[in-house]
Chains A and B, each alone.
Chain A
Amino acid sequence: MEEKVSSISLTNVAASYDNGADVLTDVSLNITGGAIYFLTGASGAGKTTLLRLIYQLHKPKSGQIKLFGKLTNDMSRDEITEIRKKMAIVFQEYSLLSHMSVFDNVALPLRVRNMPENKIRALVPKILDWVGLGKYANEKPLALSGGQQQRVSVARAIIVQPSILLADEPTGNLDDENASRLMDLFIQMNKMFGTTIILATHSNRLIDTYKFPVIHIENHHVKFVTKVASGDTTKKLWKGPAPKNYFNELSKQFDDIGNIQ
């Protein structure tokens, strides 16, 4: 089998908060393209910081971060913006713009990529339907429940068909049915496009159900990384109901974005 290139590589990375307190120390990771990982650890252990480091929202105190084989430490803002266009992040607190409609929030990543408005109008309703929010397109995010806002946030992340998807507690505000539906989406996306996905979670149930490899953070260190099984991980480990092929139709619309390498 052809060896996959590491899409994310961290070497001896240390990070601290603005007040100087250490969050992560000597973190080294290699994440193969197309894998799904769970990221676990106690509250405040540094899960969000690790995701922010990978997404280039936080500068490391020391060490090297490589994305798609490119060293990011000395990249200019424009270079980081370019590399970030191949990635997406879902935050625990949703990061939605409250004065904009659900439609406009989801369309935002496409608009900043200068996608023509007619294509945006065709694509956004589809993705909103797929996350079960089609009828809320014109609502403001604050009119939605926490779980619905979480799904808007996910829709905004996946609409750009990222090569790397980072999600901070994406199922934290969802009931079991919606959590399962969301996991369906992530797995489908991974299978169809080979998207590398890192899901930060506290849910042992989720970890037990899906059995993806786990990156565990404890005492500022990455303590344990489960080895990725050889071959198609998601096929072997997937125990839930057969995922619906949400992305079949969507994939045709993604040609213009072309983030997946």
Chain B
Amino acid sequence: MTKKPIVFSIIQEQSTFMTAIMSVLAFLSVLTLGIALMIGTGAIRMNTSWDLYATIQTTDANDAPKIREVLSKNKNLIAENNEISNSQMTDLMSPWISGGAALQKYLPKVWEVKFKSATDMKTVQQEITPYAKFMTHKNALATPIRAGWYLIAISTLILAIVLGSITVCVSYIAHNTAILHKRELEILNQVGASDAFVANQMQVIVANICTRATIIGFIFAIPFLFLILSAAHSARIGLMAMMDLNWIGWILLVLLPVAITIFATHIAKHTTKNILKHS
């Protein structure tokens, strides 16, 4: 492919306008893909961080020795076992229940346990269930993780809309250029140029615009992704705090502008051939 179209090129104002629009679309696509990847990474990290944790809880103090016994018997299946003390529990409950003897009477006994594997967790769960509530953290976090996947779906939808807009935009460039250069197309036809040759000329124009535009869009989107990441990490806990971009995410983000440029030149080729076919 030649670097410069030999017959027609779009005028400066049109080129600038199209570069600006394509830059905004490239910016939005990098941003939406970046957000989707960050949330996805957060959701996966959350899943892997908490899926071996469980909270064991009972309000009957008489069951506590039995629970301790089960935990002790299965200590080879347990990575961490943290029994919440009465004083810690009193502190935790004090905002809701006033102090004194009444609080001591209703204090639940709670254990935070990390298991070595999901199978180990299941084994212990079966033994504990007759005496206490066994709550896996995975179940507890299902709601925020589900919300995370919804956000990813929305981001993907936005990305699809942006790519659709790019298709419309590139088709517009091709149509507009064909109208502006009707005479040139006619002369090309007269001197024996094939449709493929004319389409190639249009591809050169679109490739030039898209290369410039996607680089601009990418450069502008990156600081915004860091800002979003920084704001999310300030939440400290939950899904937002877990959001991140790993090296695979960065590679995908870098590949997106390349993919957009290839996609746009493909659209330009098909649109131009279609225009010529019906001219």
Residues of A within 8 A of B (CB): 55, 57, 77-78, 81, 84-85, 87-89, 91, 95-97, 100, 104, 108-109, 111-113, 156, 160
Q: Could you pull out 22 A-B pairs where Cβ atoms are within 8 angstroms?
A: A77-B277, A81-B195, A84-B192, A85-B192, A87-B192, A89-B190, A95-B186, A95-B187, A95-B190, A97-B7, A97-B183, A97-B187, A100-B7, A104-B6, A112-B188, A112-B191, A112-B192, A112-B193, A112-B194, A113-B192, A160-B191, A160-B192
Extra contacts besides A81-B193, A89-B190, A97-B7 (4): CB < 8 Å: A88-B191, A95-B190, A109-B192, A113-B192
CA gap between A81 and B277 in the complex, in Å: 12
Q: How far is the CB of A187 from chain B (nearest CB, A)?
A: 23
Q: Which residues of A contact B187 (CB under 8 A)?
A: 95-97, 108
Q: Which residues of A contact B6 (CB under 8 A)?
A: 104, 108, 111
Taking a contact as CB atoms under 8 Å apart, the answer to whether A77 and B192 are in contact is no
Q: Which residues of B contact A81 (CB under 8 A)?
A: 192-195
Q: How far is the CB of A84 from chain B (nearest CB, A)?
A: 5
Q: Which residues of A contact B189 (CB under 8 A)?
A: 57
Q: How far is the CB of B12 from chain A (nearest CB, A)?
A: 13
CA gap between A96 and B194 in the complex, in Å: 18
CA gap between A78 and B192 in the complex, in Å: 10
For A78, A84, A108, the residue with the greatest tally of chain B CB atoms inside 10 Å of its CB is A108
Q: Which residues of B contact A109 (CB under 8 A)?
A: 191-192
Q: Which residues of A contact B69 (CB under 8 A)?
A: none
* Given known contacts A97-B7, A97-B184, A78 and B190 CB-to-CB distance under 8 angstroms: no
Q: Which residues of A contact B197 (CB under 8 A)?
A: 112
B216 at the interface (CB under 8 A from A): no
Q: Which residues of A contact B163 (CB under 8 A)?
A: none
Per-residue interface assignment for chain B, residues 153 to 188, with 1 indicating a CB less than 8 Å from any chain A CB and 0 otherwise: 000000000000000000000000000000110111
Q: Please give me the residue from chain B that is nearest to A95 by CB atom.
A: B187
Segment 184-213 of B: residues with Cβ below 8 Å from A:
184, 186-195, 197
Q: Which residues of B contact A55 (CB under 8 A)?
A: 190
CA gap between A157 and B190 in the complex, in Å: 10
CA gap between A108 and B192 in the complex, in Å: 9
Q: Which residues of B contact A104 (CB under 8 A)?
A: 6
B276 at the interface (CB under 8 A from A): yes
Q: Which residues of A contact B191 (CB under 8 A)?
A: 88, 108-109, 112, 156, 160
Q: How far is the CB of B76 from chain A (nearest CB, A)?
A: 75
Q: Which residues of A contact B186 (CB under 8 A)?
A: 95
Q: How far is the CB of B64 from chain A (nearest CB, A)?
A: 85
CA gap between A85 and B276 in the complex, in Å: 18
